[in-house]
Amino acid sequence: MSWILLTLFFFFLILCIFFAFPWIYGAPFEPTSNKKLKQIIKLANIKKSEKAVDLGSGDGRIVIEIAKKGAEAHGFEINPFLVFLSRRKIKKQGLENKAFIHWKNFWKEDLGEYDLIVMFQFSTIMKRLEKKLKKELKPSARIISYYWKFPNWKIKNKKENIFVYQK
């Protein structure tokens, strides 16, 4: 019984830290609307040979849609509940060979293998994220940012508050 209470205590402690300080890791989870999801997928111009990643993949809806278009889709998520939920949705849709959710912090990962990066982050980290992506991405990589802009990159294409960048 005491190990259950201890486990719950640590779980709630982690949640409190995550939600109290979202700017440390990125944006808190906010589901993408179906309308915005369709716009993101259209602007992404996904090719079947590509490898894509969603930074802070939440409930996996973007990863799933990218995989449905034929690309190998990955998501990095630090919330274990959302990782579990995403993996369950992927399995339900039979996309286990095309869609992958990683319980990892994308700041600690090399993103150089990806052709497409999708994200909804926080204004306070965009400058730091811009530097990381400039350093790691291949020249042909595309970045889609929902709502937040990079401070120094030129926008290649946009639809409302969805911005497309090319490295």
Give the residues across from 51 on adjacent strands.
Answer: 72
- The average pLDDT across 64-71 equals 98
Q: Which helix (H) or strand (E) holds 162?
A: strand 162-166
Q: Where are the domains of the chain?
A: 26-166
4 against 47, higher pLDDT: 47
What confidence tens digit (pLDDT) does each residue in 3-23 have? 676 666 666 656 555 554 444
Per the CB < 8 A criterion, the answer to whether 148 and 127 are in contact is no
**Domain 26-166 belongs to what architecture?**
3-Layer(aba) Sandwich (3.40)
136 exposed, middle or buried (CB, 10 Å; 0-12, 13-18, 19+)? middle
pLDDT averaged over every residue in the chain = 89
pTM > 0.85: yes or no: no
Residue 15 is predicted with a pLDDT of: 58
Closest C-alpha to 99, from 111, 89, 109: 89
